[in-house]
Amino acid sequence: MPLISETILDIEREYEEKHKKSKEIYKRALNCFPSGITHDNRYEKPFPIYTTKALGTRKWDVDGNEYVDYIMGHGALLFGYGNEKINQSMKEQIEKAVHMGSCTELEVEWAELIQKLVPSARNGFVRATSCGSEAIYLAIRLARAYTGRDKVILHAGSYHGTLDLVLLAYNGPPFGIRNSKGIPESVKKDVIIVPFNDLASVEEALKKGDVACVILHCNNLYTKDYIKGLRKLTEIYGTVFIMDEVVSGLRYSKGGAQEYYGVVPDLSVLGKIVGGGAPIGAICGKKEILDYFSFKDEYWNKFVRLAMGGTWNAQPLSIVGGVTMMKMILEEGDKIYHRMYKFGRELIKSFNDLADDMKVSAFAYGLPYDDPTIVVINFFNRDPGEKMYIWKSGPRSLKDYEVKEEYSAGGLAKYINYMVTTNYGILAMHHNEQYILCSEHKDEDLIKTEEALSNSLKALKIFGAIGSK
């Protein structure tokens, strides 16, 4: 067996040989952007890949390499890249105007489609924003105005954008400390961080009567009973229940996670798919809550109403893309989702079978768990044994997050997996460990992905970068 360092050097050399132009562009980027990137998830070692075009499920880089893509515009592209109907609608809109800063009939049609698709919007209001992060902080402000309370319950490890308050829950353990530089203590005092699937912790916090809202990032491992329990508890304690469906909205099902799990929140936050692949965000839900954006009498307008502007709110290019995509969802119905579920199950089974055959500690699961439209793969430094429930049904306590970190393979595993799978023509989220599916992924994509992951597992085993079973 060759020395590990020599073997890794071979993989690095292949990566650099295949991506010479990307390496040169990255050198330039280092003089322009912190760490050379414009999004944390695009930071890769030794350097990221620079792409030029995409079509269907495929993407091409500046060196001419072709990839099966599982980034899908960070989950915004349900029908893959370059969909003809969506492209055509946007081209026609560009001819009219990219942006006008005035009301359009198109924005009304867009909101009506959201009301048809999303349960919490059916008898409620919709408001457009520029992105999901903006929609989240406005939803929190609405909840505070409606309840007269300040505190917010977040789930450990959930990402809701870059607003000070919600970013506290993202990285940990310990939560509320990691990546919190620049966030004032005055903000931290209003945040309560709870583990997944622990209704007792939520109720304990709600009993104090000072919680404005509970936010659920739907793109995580929750049990259906837990989500239903949250709905019941928030009703009992008069707290606004917000479902962050920026990722899961119109992805888990045509009505999002709330339709999939059969739970209707007070407010929903949307993004990605409702813009057809262009920048967008939205809040929808109960009229009595969103009514705080309404204009009424002079006193209300001055002292009660929530001010909300935004240069790019309901910008026509995003709106027309969203209208077209939502119409396609209504036309094709559930079969879109069944195609993704089937592909996701096959990818998960293939990966887990490979890991079992090679006797290595690695595991793939789906989001949602039984009907995946996103596949997540995990590498362990040793067999988690009885602790596998953390990856199968989600953490049950804050201690479980420490266990999760303890068993997770380190940076070497991520580095090797990323380079090997990229060399084999795969691009995915989070160092090629999160695979976002679209309705267009087909058998040939699955075969190519299985080959890449098989070679990655072989390399990881040889290098001793992951544990054995």
| Phi and psi, residue 27, nearest 5° | -60, -40
Taking the alpha carbons at both ends of the chain, their separation in whole angstroms is 21
State whether the Cα torsion 24-27-32-35 is positive or negative.
positive
Distance of CA 287 to the CA centre of its chain: 27
Is omega for the bond preceding 316 within 30 degrees of 0, making it cis? no
Closest CA to 456 of 436, 426, 429, 430: 426
Distance (Å, rounded) from C-alpha 338 to C-alpha 279?
A: 27
List alpha helices for 30-126, DSSP H.
72-75, 84-96, 105-117
- Which residues lie below 8 Å from residue 320, measured CB to CB, with a gap of 6+? 89, 90, 92, 93, 106, 276
Burial class (CB in 10 A: 0-12, 13-18, 19+), 17: exposed
Each residue's pLDDT tens digit, 354-394: 999 999 999 999 999 999 999 999 999 999 999 999 999 88
pLDDT grade for 252, boundaries at 50, 70 and 90: very high
- List C-alpha distances in Å: 315 to 75, 224, 318, 326, 428: 20, 36, 6, 17, 29
Residue 334 DSSP code? T
| Residues 124/358, Cβ–Cβ less than 8 Å | no
pLDDT tens-digit readout, 285-314: 999 999 999 999 999 999 999 999 999 999
Instruction: State whether the Cα torsion 342-344-345-347 is positive or negative.
Output: positive
pLDDT tens digits, 138-163: 999 999 999 999 999 999 999 999 99
Asked whether the beta carbons of 258 and 266 are under 8 A apart, the reply is no
For residue 341, the model assigns a pLDDT of 98
Per-residue pLDDT tens for 168-205? 999 888 888 888 889 999 999 999 999 989 999 999 99
4 pLDDT more than 60: no
Which domains, and CATH codes, for the chain? 4-80+335-463 (3.90.1150.10), 84-332 (3.40.640.10)
Which residue carries 């502007």 as its tokens? 309
